[in-house]
Structure 1
Amino acid sequence: MTLNSFEEGGDGGGPSECDGQYHLNKYNIVALSTRWYNNGNRCLKHINIYYKGRSTRAKVVDECDSNGGCANDIVDASSGVWADLQISESSPEYGKVQITWSDE
């Protein structure tokens, strides 16, 4: 899982692919790499994210383009997701961790 901004002017680029809107990073939202995004079939659905015995739920709002710089098998998550998983900004893990996830 990597950190991503979904707000206007953030590092996520343009508006989200699923709904054409920007989103506040305080919400639990994610972009999935191309294969997992599955041509939009997961758009606006929720996934469960698991990390070190903790879990949270997040809405899929965008595609993380595997051909445009996003690695395969990546979940790009808002700061809200990181906070829910109790990974603080001061942690050396903040920004990139190995997680598992499932469809809801």
Structure 2
Amino acid sequence: MLMLRLVGQVARLGVRNHLLEDATKRMTDCCVQGKLYTTYKCSPAVSSHTKAVLTLNSFEKGGDGGPPSECDKKHHSDDTSVVALSTGWYNKGSRCLNNITISARGRSMVAMVVDECDSTMGCDEEHDYQPPCPNNIVDASKAVWEALGVPLADWGELDIIWSDA
């Protein structure tokens, strides 16, 4: 899921990277028939320094985020700092439209929670045939990655710290 999202985002930006192309040939993001995937109903406890993995997502119409965001039933520009949280952190929408602070690589930024990265289900049309999301994901727009100063070549997965703002 993460590699395919990264490849899609990089392709949309018009960047060609042979390492990504090679990785894409080796990996697919679609669920494999008959394979069992781990699902989660909870996430690690939230603190002032919650460890997570930042992933890349497009919240735009036609982007890899799929249907409109759960919180406001809207699509969002990739130039807006928005995120989806794993199911446990999303907490039945309790963080909807609230800001979180994300820190990595010596920088911090604020992003708004607009969606859930579903950790309980996947491999169906509603989830674009992608596996369930791990329980420690902050799935972020391009704007978040840029605000953290992450070079484009390093986009995909990044260890971060986050907290409620």
Normalising to structure 1: TM-score of the pair? 0.95
Number of equivalent positions: 102
CA distance in 1, matches of 2:143, 2:152: 11
Aligned position for 1:49: 102
Give SS of 2:163's match. strand
Measured on the aligned residues, the alpha-carbon RMSD in Å equals 0.7
Aligned position for 1:21: 74
Shift of 1:79: 0.2
Aligned position for 1:102: 163
Matches within 5 A, 1:53-92: 53-67=106-120, 68=122, 69-90=132-153
Gapped regions of structure 1 (runs ≥ 5): none
Give SS of 1:98's match. strand
Give SS of 2:157's match. coil
Amino acid at match of 1:49: I
CA distance in 1, matches of 2:133, 2:57: 11
Larger radius of gyration between Structure 1 and Structure 2 = 2
Shift of 1:82: 0.2
Is residue 39 from structure 1 mapped to residue 92 from structure 2 by the alignment? yes
Higher normalized strand content (fraction of residues): 1
Shift of 1:50: 0.4
Amino acid at match of 2:156: G
Amino acid at match of 1:25: D
Q: Deviations over 1:4-45 (max 9, x none)?
A: 000011110100000000000101000000000000000000
Q: Deviations over 1:49-77 (max 9, x none)?
A: 00021110000000000122211110000
CA distance in 2, matches of 1:95, 1:16: 21
Aligned position for 2:3: none
Normalising to structure 2: TM-score of the pair? 0.61
CA distance in 2, matches of 1:19, 1:85: 25
- Identity in percent: 57
